[in-house]
Chain A
Amino acid sequence: MFERLYVMLMKEFLELRRDRWALFRLVVPLLIQMVVFGYAATFTVSHVATAVLDLDQSQASRELVSHFVATGRFDVVDVAGSQDRITSDIDSGRAVVAVVIHAGFARMLWNGQGAPLQVVVDGTNSNTALIALGYISQIVTQFQASNTIQSLSTRGGAAPLTISITLQPRPWFNEGLNDRWFFIPGVIGTLTLIQVVSLTAFAVVREREVGTLEQIMVSPIRPFEFILGKTVPFFLIGLGDVALVTAVGILWFRIPFVGSPTTMLLGATLFLLAALGLGLLLSTLSRTQQQAFALQFFLVNPLFILSGFAFPIAAMPQALQWFTLINPLRYFLVVIRAVFLKGIGIADLWPQLGAMALLGLAMLTLSILRFRNSLD
């Protein structure tokens, strides 16, 4: 058995070596994608283009605007002269946020009426809008706080006018709320999945289309050995991929890696098994490379989108949440993020690791069965 497996492996590696561009295609695009997407994937909301219409022109109104600018979250791109200008700023997309301070703002602020402040937000990007609104209400709260104290001290009152609870938010594992720390481990997992599935999806069907599958069928090799021979080289490539992109994440993007490399290796191994199983299954399900390719396009994108890479699984409808249970990327992302940021080990991660092992076994077995059927 080992001899046949060895021959099969030799054949696979020879085929890889014959392809002069293979190494280039395996490494260079991966590195480029890692760097570009590492920078691209962010939900940060800062330097939002803001238009200001100050109809009050008082000290208070100018102070309020300076509160906006001071946070670094909002950049004033247009000091508008009229309400029409504000409308056209938002319509054309020149500004995403518009702050309108009506005449009489300062007067109403001091005589206790509650000064109205109008803020227009372009809701086209609902996420940016929601976060920007959160920042705006914080800024307004701060502005009020600084002014309440001022008004109290000018009236000479010493006793607290009212009492209040304060909130101390403590973000753990990522104190600076740097969302690159969240996305880069995700990019690592996604790139690995795409690379491995795209390599293995063609493994069997190419032999079929080129006509070499008949030759393999007449050789004494068993389906199990054939699939294993197809798996091992891609597994090694996949492991190399994970190591490469993880190194970029740590060394280039400076993402803290507080966990243990062993947990990471175990997670990557189980994930690769599942990804390889998926690719091989696709390959045995297709008759032509065109079909394998289409199937792969058809599957990888939902796997990527429905993995919790960017969109929280908890926000999905229940039926789709169940669907994500058969998605190996979903589990790997939990593992890889936990290893990078939380530093927890197998004791806490066994459900994810177990799920990936099960998925991998199931898909590899299915592809061996499918392959055996297709031999008859």
Chain B
Amino acid sequence: MNLRRLLAMAFKETLQIWRDPRSLAIALLMPAMQMGLLGYGVSLDIKRVPLCVNDQENSQLSRTLVQKFVASDWFRIAETLPDERAVRGAMDRGACAGALTIPVNFSRTLTTTGTASVQVVFDATDANTTDIAIGYAQGAVALANQDVASQWLSGHGATAVLTGTVDLEPRVWFNEGLDSRNFIIPGVVAIILGLVGAQLTSLTVSREWERGTMEQLISTPVAALEVMLGKLIPYFLIGLFDAAFCLCTAAFWFQVPFRGGIGTLVLTTALFTLVVLGIGYLVSVRIRSQLGASQIALMLTMLPITLLSGYTFPLDQMPGPIRAVSLVVYARYYVSILRSVFLKGSGVGQLALPILALVLYAGAIIWIAARAFRKRLD
């Protein structure tokens, strides 16, 4: 290892980055665009679910019930349907996510038998949204029931002493408003860094092969390790810049509560950047055509990072073998670190396990990549 040769290599790589301003612009602007698009676009807050209403009775009671669905922004009325047959058409067209049907004898059935049912048909294609919407519908009916019950009791001159009631006191910790943005944005930062990093380095060696400059590089006295470090240093700086930008946007623009320490954040971010760049470099060394390298890099990063990192889909709900696969998805450690540092304010001590995983990962990748590059032409 020779410092002069290492610096020369880093200088050459920097020059190359500098001379391709379009790629540099993409590397610097991409995180900004992605933060904007994903930060705003990624939301699971389901509100104002479009509801079609088929009120066959149209009484005061039925209108009160419909009103409860629209209250608190759970549902909005998309269409009023004339009869039950129209429900199918509306669902097929996708005009609404749910259709409420109130039967003709609704009020009379309720007062004579003490109970009456209304039906809500849901387009359950999106099971998650439906699950939440069913919860909302139950909430709306419960609200209506409070009104109905108190009217009924006062109408009969009775005072209610109901036994057996439980007052549920839910407390939500770490993300008090259940704002999905606070949950997802730290993950978005990890995704963007993972993608940018792999994109930066995954063509750096195969490009030399394809352009024919590898022969020149091999004829110089530079050592394999110096090539690797020299190539990684400038990208590492770009990666750190991108990371700082994304993290600041998350904390200051999107106002995700930041409760942890800056030191923990810097340490883990640097580690993660190293892992990501190392993976890109490894792909680049192994695959000599730029097309092949880019396909492998894309395949190794985009979907695994988005689907197996726990950034949207909770890892603990996946089947065992898939959970085992997710252990090699390095982004999962960084996603959980970022989330804990931001929302829970965890320090290095509590995060020892994921940090250790990242350290091991970085070490292994760098070691393999250093050995994979041979200064030989065949």
Instruction: Give A contacts to B, CB under 8 Å.
Output: 21, 25, 29, 33, 36-37, 39-47, 49, 64, 90-93, 109-112, 114-131, 133-134, 136-138, 140-141, 143-144, 147-148, 150-151, 160-175, 177-179, 181-182, 190-191, 194, 198-199, 202, 206, 209-210, 286-291, 293-298, 300-302, 304-306, 310-312, 314-317, 319-320, 323, 334, 337-338, 341-342, 344, 348
Which of B88-96, B213-221, B225-233, B245-253 makes up part of the contact surface?
B88-96
Q: Is B292 within 8 A of A25, CB to CB?
A: yes
Q: Is B169 within 8 A of A119, CB to CB?
A: yes
Q: Is B127 within 8 A of A174, CB to CB?
A: yes
Q: Tell me, rounded to whole Å, the shortest Cβ–Cβ distance linking A179 to chain B.
A: 4
Q: Which of A92, A141, A167 contacts B350 (CB 8 A)?
A: A92
Q: Bound complex: CA of A342 vs CA of B38, how far in Å?
A: 30
Known: A43-B127, A175-B124, A310-B312. A166 touches B164 (CB 8 A): no
Which of B6-14, B132-140, B262-270, B365-373 makes up part of the contact surface?
B132-140
Q: Is B137 within 8 A of A172, CB to CB?
A: no
Q: Bound complex: CA of A206 vs CA of B173, how far in Å?
A: 52
Any A CB within 8 A of the CB of B130 = yes
Q: Is A124 within 8 A of B344, CB to CB?
A: yes
Known: A109-B163, A163-B149, A194-B302. A315 touches B47 (CB 8 A): yes
Which of B21-29, B52-60, B235-243, B355-363 makes up part of the contact surface?
B21-29
Q: Which of A39, A169, A314 contacts B319 (CB 8 A)?
A: A39
Q: Is A166 within 8 A of B316, CB to CB?
A: no
Chain B residues with CB under 8 A of A163: 110-111, 114-115, 148-149, 152
- Nearest chain-B residue to A134 (Cβ)? B135
Q: Is B160 within 8 A of A162, CB to CB?
A: yes
Q: Is A198 within 8 A of B322, CB to CB?
A: no
A290-B207, A295-B26 known; 6 new pairs, CB 8 Å cut-off, are A25-B292, A115-B167, A165-B145, A298-B30, A300-B302, A304-B306
Q: Tell me, rounded to whole Å, the shortest Cβ–Cβ distance linking B150 to chain A.
A: 9
Q: Is A122 within 8 A of B174, CB to CB?
A: yes
Q: Which of A33, A287, A301, A315 contacts B299 (CB 8 A)?
A: A33
Any A CB within 8 A of the CB of B153 = yes
Any A CB within 8 A of the CB of B175 = yes
Chain B residues with CB under 8 A of A42: 313, 317-318
Chain B residues with CB under 8 A of A151: 163-164
* 8 A Cβ contacts from B2-56 to A: 20, 22-23, 26-27, 30, 33-34, 37-38, 40-48, 50
Q: Is B44 within 8 A of A289, CB to CB?
A: no
Chain B residues with CB under 8 A of A166: 115-118, 141
Q: Bound complex: CA of A141 vs CA of B142, how far in Å?
A: 10
Q: Tell me, rounded to whole Å, the shortest Cβ–Cβ distance linking A156 to chain B.
A: 14
Interface-centre pick from B110, B166, B296 (highest chain A CB count, 10 A): B166
Q: Tell me, rounded to whole Å, the shortest Cβ–Cβ distance linking A164 to chain B.
A: 5
Q: Bound complex: CA of A331 vs CA of B275, how far in Å?
A: 36
Q: Tell me, rounded to whole Å, the shortest Cβ–Cβ distance linking B232 to chain A.
A: 16
Known: A123-B173, A198-B298, A306-B37. A288 touches B291 (CB 8 A): no
Any A CB within 8 A of the CB of B1 = no
Q: Give the size category of B's interface with A.
A: 35 or more
For the complex of A and B, 6 pairs with smallest distance between CB atoms: A123-B175, A171-B124, A134-B135, A147-B164, A179-B127, A174-B124
Q: Tell me, rounded to whole Å, the shortest Cβ–Cβ distance linking B258 to chain A.
A: 14
Any A CB within 8 A of the CB of B172 = yes
Chain A residues with CB under 8 A of B306: 301, 304-305
Known: A162-B152, A312-B44, A344-B92. A177 touches B317 (CB 8 A): no
Q: Is A311 within 8 A of B41, CB to CB?
A: yes
Q: Is B30 within 8 A of A150, CB to CB?
A: no
Chain B residues with CB under 8 A of A297: 30, 195-196, 199, 298, 302
Chain B residues with CB under 8 A of A181: 125, 127
Q: Is A144 within 8 A of B44, CB to CB?
A: no
Q: Bound complex: CA of A24 vs CA of B206, how far in Å?
A: 20
Q: Tell me, rounded to whole Å, the shortest Cβ–Cβ distance linking A75 to chain B.
A: 10
Any A CB within 8 A of the CB of B157 = no
Q: Which of B23, B44, B124, B316 contacts A290 (CB 8 A)?
A: B23
Instruction: Give B contacts to A, CB under 8 Å.
Output: 20, 22-23, 26-27, 30, 33-34, 37-38, 40-48, 50, 65, 91-94, 110-111, 114-132, 134-135, 137-138, 141-142, 144-145, 148-149, 152-153, 160-176, 178-180, 182-183, 191, 195-196, 199, 202-203, 207, 210-211, 290-292, 294-299, 302-303, 306-308, 312-314, 316-319, 321-322, 325-326, 339-340, 343-344, 350
Chain B residues with CB under 8 A of A315: 43-47
Q: Which of B172, B195, B295 contacts A25 (CB 8 A)?
A: B295
- Nearest chain-A residue to B145 (Cβ)? A164
Q: Is B176 within 8 A of A301, CB to CB?
A: no
Q: Bound complex: CA of A348 vs CA of B292, how far in Å?
A: 41
Q: Which of A91, A182, A210 contacts B127 (CB 8 A)?
A: A182
30 contacts between A and B (CB under 8 A): A29-B299, A36-B325, A39-B321, A90-B173, A109-B164, A111-B163, A127-B44, A148-B162, A162-B153, A165-B117, A166-B141, A167-B118, A169-B137, A171-B122, A173-B123, A182-B128, A289-B291, A290-B20, A290-B203, A294-B27, A297-B199, A297-B302, A305-B41, A306-B41, A314-B48, A317-B40, A334-B94, A342-B91, A342-B125, A348-B93
Q: Tell me, rounded to whole Å, the shortest Cβ–Cβ distance linking A254 to chain B.
A: 15
Known: A42-B318, A163-B114, A287-B22. A202 touches B47 (CB 8 A): no
Q: Tell me, rounded to whole Å, the shortest Cβ–Cβ distance linking A114 to chain B.
A: 4
Q: Tell me, rounded to whole Å, the shortest Cβ–Cβ distance linking B35 to chain A.
A: 11
Chain A residues with CB under 8 A of B166: 64, 109, 114-117, 140, 143-144
- Nearest chain-B residue to A347 (Cβ)? B92
Q: Bound complex: CA of A316 vs CA of B38, how far in Å?
A: 10
Q: Which of A21, A45, A302 contacts B38 (CB 8 A)?
A: A302
Q: Bound complex: CA of A53 vs CA of B196, how far in Å?
A: 46
Q: Tell me, rounded to whole Å, the shortest Cβ–Cβ distance linking B310 to chain A.
A: 8
Q: Is A182 within 8 A of B125, CB to CB?
A: yes
Known: A198-B298, A294-B199. A137 touches B168 (CB 8 A): yes
Chain B residues with CB under 8 A of A174: 124-125, 127, 130
Chain A residues with CB under 8 A of B317: 42-47
- Nearest chain-A residue to B93 (Cβ)? A348
Known: A116-B167, A298-B33. A124 touches B175 (CB 8 A): yes
Q: Bound complex: CA of A44 vs CA of B317, how far in Å?
A: 7
Q: Bound complex: CA of A341 vs CA of B125, how far in Å?
A: 7
Q: Bound complex: CA of A141 vs CA of B138, how far in Å?
A: 11
